[in-house]
Amino acid sequence: MEHLILSKKQIAKITADIGHKLSKDLAKEKKIPVVIGIMKGSMNFMMDVMKNLEVDVFTDYIQVSSYNGTKTTGKVILKRDLSFDIKGRTVVVIEDIVDTGVSMNYLMDFLKDRYHPKRIILVALVDKRSRRKEKVKIDYAGMILKEDEFLLGYGLDYNELGRNLPEIYGLTNKEVRKLAGKINKEII
């Protein structure tokens, strides 16, 4: 895995920058804003951004799963809902990567329809725009990935593996196949 996409240093800079910008953006909120992490991929990123926030925030988590089978548009299901009502509050949604945009589109509609927040600010570490199918407005992006490649590490997984890597790597197809072989020997 020699193809480094984001080093620890770059991640530290990105999370500090986003944290400071968000702090300014959230400074005048009357009600305490809620930072929502999308499980599980954005956990590392969420915590690092949070450490750079200079305003009071509540935190919550939501989990969705996307299934990209044979159909062109993936089907998204909600696996875990929020634990409290965010009605009328500004929410900051933290995502690891926006790829086709299908999951994020679903999540945005879900949050708006079900909770009626005051506004939603979307933060994504990686904007993989080459594969975008549905329009997504990302307010703060850590980086734009122009190539269509598979990323692993710092929360990003391949079938639940690799989330613990401290940096982000781009995988060749051969490396993905190697990982797939490793997983086949294990039952999660």
99: annotated active-site residue: yes
Say if residues 130 and 148 touch (Cβ distance below 8 Å).
Answer: yes
CA distance 79 to 64: 5
142 near Mg ion (CB under 5 A)? no
Give the Å distances, CA to CA, from 84 to 41, 81, 115, 117, 172. Answer: 21, 9, 10, 12, 41
41 near Mg ion (CB under 5 A)? yes
Residue with structure tokens 């809620």?
34
96 near ligand IMP (CB under 6 A)? yes
3 state SS of 66: strand
Contact residue for ligand IMP among 26, 97, 121, 138 (CB under 6 A)? 97
CB-based contacts of 18, cutoff 8 Å, min separation 6: 49, 52, 123, 140, 142
From the list ligand IMP, Mg ion, none, pick the one residue 101 interacts with, judged by a Cβ distance below 5 to 8 Å according to partner type: ligand IMP
Residue 26: CB minimum distance to ligand IMP, A: 23
Considering the complex, state which of residue 29 and residue 134 has its C-beta at the smaller distance from ligand IMP: 134
CA distance 14 to 30: 27
Q: Which of 25, 99, 109, 113 is catalytic?
A: 99
CA distance 42 to 62: 11
Considering the complex, state which of residue 92 and residue 151 has its C-beta at the smaller distance from ligand IMP: 151
90 near ligand IMP (CB under 6 A)? no
Contact segment (CB under 5 A) with Mg ion among 22-30, 69-77, 94-102, 165-173 equals 94-102
19 near Mg ion (CB under 5 A)? no
Catalytic residue numbers?
99
Residues that bind ligand IMP (CB under 6 A): 41, 66, 74, 95-104, 128, 150-151, 156-157
